[in-house]
């Protein structure tokens, strides 16, 4: 994981995690959790149960997926799902997105960080780059599949090789007011920023 991805993950947790209910121990799911040059788990807040999934057993992986497009968890199980530097390696990331929405609680958040630029880096494949309208397209896909998801914010991180696309989604827009703050309010060096 490159440094700016780790920094963006830390900022996400700093802005959003404090607004998660603590009536029960909140849960975070990380998709693509292998620790390669660092992990977003390293910057996760304390007091959360953290589960990392990936397609092979490795450092940082708690659950090995039998099927990359099926998350082995109940509906409405997680408060936060995060994925950093992973969706570009998914041949059909839109199917993963629907699974993310399925396992999130109605007020749950999905933090997505994926490159919009950068060199080919197969692991085992490298299929996609994400541009400013990618989040809007995912919301259109979600609505077509019967969800009330919404993007809370998205932007492109400037000034580094990968130009990370960063988006924060909420499973059900009814709960958007639970999260009054945005990363973009204090972010530097961004482009194509949207707050919804």
Q: What is the pLDDT of residue 82?
A: 98
The pTM (predicted TM-score) of the whole model is 0.97
DSSP conformation letters of 158-195: -SSTT-EEEEEEES-GGGGGG----GGGT--SEEEEEE
Cα(64)–Cα(188) distance, rounded to whole angstroms? Answer: 36
Residue numbers in the chain where pLDDT is lower than 50: none
Give the start-to-end residue ranges of the domains of the chain. Answer: 3-195
Q: What is the pLDDT of residue 123?
A: 83
| Cα 45 to chain centroid, rounded | 15
78-123 residue pLDDT tens: 999 999 999 999 999 999 999 999 999 999 999 999 999 998 989 8
Question: Both tokens of residue 94?
Answer: 């839109």
* CATH class of this structure's domain 3-195: alpha beta
Q: What is the pLDDT of residue 98?
A: 98
Q: What is the pLDDT of residue 4?
A: 86
């Amino acid at each position: 994981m490159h440094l700016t991805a780790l920094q963006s993950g830390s900022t996400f947790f700093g802005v959003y995690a404090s607004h998660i209910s603590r009536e029960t121990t909140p849960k975070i799911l990380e998709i693509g959790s292998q620790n390669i040059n660092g992990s977003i788990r390293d910057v996760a807040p304390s007091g959360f149960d953290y589960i990392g999934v990936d397609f092979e057993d490795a450092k940082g992986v708690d659950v090995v997926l039998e099927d990359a497009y099926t998350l082995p968890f109940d509906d409405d199980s997680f408060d936060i799902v995060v994925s950093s530097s992973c969706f570009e390696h998914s041949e059909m990331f839109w199917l993963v997105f629907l699974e993310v929405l399925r396992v999130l609680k109605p007020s749950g958040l999905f933090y997505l960080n994926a490159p919009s630029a950068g060199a080919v880096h197969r692991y085992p494949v490298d299929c996609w780059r994400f541009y400013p309208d990618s989040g809007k397209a995912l919301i259109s896909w979600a609505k077509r599949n019967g969800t009330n998801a919404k993007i809370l914010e998205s932007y492109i991180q400037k000034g580094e090789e990968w130009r990370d696309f960063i988006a924060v989604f909420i499973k059900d827009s009814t709960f958007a007011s639970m999260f009054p703050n945005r990363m973009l309010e204090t972010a530097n060096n961004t482009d194509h920023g949207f707050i919804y």
